[in-house]
Amino acid sequence: MRKTLTAPTSTPAPARTRRTWVGVLIGAALVALAAVSLLIGASNDVSVSSLAKGDGDALFLLAASRIPRTVSLVLVGASLGIAGLIMQMLVRNKFVEPSTTGVTEFAVLGMLIALVFWPGMPILPRMAFISLFALAGTWIFLRIIRFVPVRTLVLVPLVGIMLGGVVGAATTFFAYRLDLLQSLGQWSQGSFATVMRGRYEFLWVAVVMVVIAWLAADRFSVIGLGEEFATNLGLDFRRVVAIGMIIVAVITACVLVTAGVLPFLGLVVPNIVSLIIGDNVRRAIPWVAGLGSVFVVACDIIARVVRFPYEIPLSVVVGIVGAGLFLWLLLRRRGRVH
């Protein structure tokens, strides 16, 4: 708080131009990476020259495979970043995101149940079903967190990771008993290898959630200051929390159904953005969305190139890069106040 009070009087102009420049940089990186993403793939038909010539095969692959894949990467990156950001505001903790609060594990449990009882369920009802589980997971996490007496920075995600561990163990147990362990692994492993036209469109549901998050952005900033503060400002605290929970749950479910589990992303991206521009949600949303997209597109390009023309699972790349950044954030903070 003190910082925001003093900042405008001391150094307003340079900080702002620096931010603008980083923003431009993220935008440029996204455009460049998206272009690379369009040109990389198992097929060699798509190249700058073949596209310029209007080659039929190249245009077909571009439309049927490359553009859907790149668009879905951008959407997943943006929405997962936003889900992390909202979650962090709800819990008032920098180290939470769906995969460190058990929400992802609840969603995977929902997916397993859907798989066992309604194997032929169409994708939209399945997504709604998984969303319900993710919602229950968020709710349970928030309830448990209330009873944690000392909310130190790392204790909250630790509780979340333990909750996720318990739910994950239950899921694994049932998958094991039902001989679905390998199928479950296959389904929840994050990968965009088979994304194509007609298989990614419901990701737009996640975009709707991002728009809602953006519209309600100021409210999330306020609840990030605490329940009493928010109520004093005349905000319906519970309702805003409920909206936030729904946003997080639906985004988690959309991404799980389309691509699988991509860990750490919702944690790393908002933290980096917060380092650059601070904690104002409305201002942070486009940044988080942009940086999240850059992160996922870049990781997917690595996943496609390492064993070309085969692919390695995207979640492996995201996990390695994300875990590295997570550690960096953690150690960097400990060096300071806590």
Partner 1 sequence: MSMIRPLSALSLVAASALVLAGCASQNDAEAAAGGDAPAGADETIEFTFENNIAGEDEEPEYESVTVNVPKDPENVVIFDMASLDTWGSLGGAPVVGAPLDSVPDYLADFVADDAINAGTLFEADLLEIEAAQPDLIIVAGRSATLYDDLREIAPTVNLSSEGSFEETLERNTTFLGEVLGAEDEAATALADIEAQLAEVRELTAEIETGLSVMVSGDSLSALKPANGDYSGRNLRGGLVYDLFGVAPITDDIEAATHGEPISFEFLTEFDPEYLFVTDRNAATNEEGAQSADVVLDNDIVHETTAWKNDNIVYLDPTAWYIVFGGLQTTQIMIDDITAGVA
In this complex, which beta carbon is closest to partner 1, that of residue 74 or of residue 281? Answer: 74
| Chain position carrying tokens 């073949």 | 50
Instruction: Report residue 112 as tokens.
Output: 């397993």
The distance of closest approach from Cβ of residue 24 to partner 1 in the complex, given in angstroms and rounded to an integer, is 33
The distance of closest approach from Cβ of residue 78 to partner 1 in the complex, given in angstroms and rounded to an integer, is 22
DSSP letters, 62-120, are: IIIIIHHHHHHHHHHHHHHHHHHHHHHHHHT-TT--GGGTTHHHHHHHHHHHHHHH-TT
DSSP letters, 115-133, are: HHH-TT--HHHHHHHHHHH
User: Among 287, 284, 333, 288, which residue's Cα sits nearest to residue 157?
Assistant: 333
User: Among 216, 219, 268, which residue's Cα sits nearest to residue 80?
Assistant: 268
User: Among 17, 87, 15, 23, which residue's Cα sits nearest to residue 286?
Assistant: 23
Instruction: Report residue 294 as tokens.
Output: 């850059």
- The answer to whether 169 and 107 are in contact (CB under 8 A) is no
In this complex, which beta carbon is closest to partner 1, that of residue 198 or of residue 335? Answer: 198
In this complex, which beta carbon is closest to partner 1, that of residue 96 or of residue 298? Answer: 298
**283 burial class (0-12, 13-18, 19+ CB within 10 angstroms)?**
middle
The distance of closest approach from Cβ of residue 314 to partner 1 in the complex, given in angstroms and rounded to an integer, is 10
The distance of closest approach from Cβ of residue 183 to partner 1 in the complex, given in angstroms and rounded to an integer, is 6
The distance of closest approach from Cβ of residue 257 to partner 1 in the complex, given in angstroms and rounded to an integer, is 10
- The answer to whether 305 and 319 are in contact (CB under 8 A) is no
User: Among 192, 170, 188, 193, which residue's Cα sits nearest to residue 115?
Assistant: 188
In this complex, which beta carbon is closest to partner 1, that of residue 29 or of residue 196? Answer: 196
In this complex, which beta carbon is closest to partner 1, that of residue 62 or of residue 216? Answer: 62
Task: Classify residue 262 by its DSSP letter.
Answer: -
In this complex, which beta carbon is closest to partner 1, that of residue 115 or of residue 276? Answer: 115
Tell me how far apart the alpha carbons of residues 79 and 88 are, in angstroms, rounded to a whole number: 14
In this complex, which beta carbon is closest to partner 1, that of residue 11 or of residue 183? Answer: 183
In this complex, which beta carbon is closest to partner 1, that of residue 49 or of residue 182? Answer: 182
Phi, psi at residue 335, to the nearest 5°? -60, -25
In this complex, which beta carbon is closest to partner 1, that of residue 60 or of residue 204? Answer: 60
Q: Which residues bind partner 1 (CB under 8 A)?
A: 41-45, 57, 60-61, 64-65, 115, 119-120, 179-180, 182-183, 186-187, 191, 193-194, 196-199, 307, 309-313
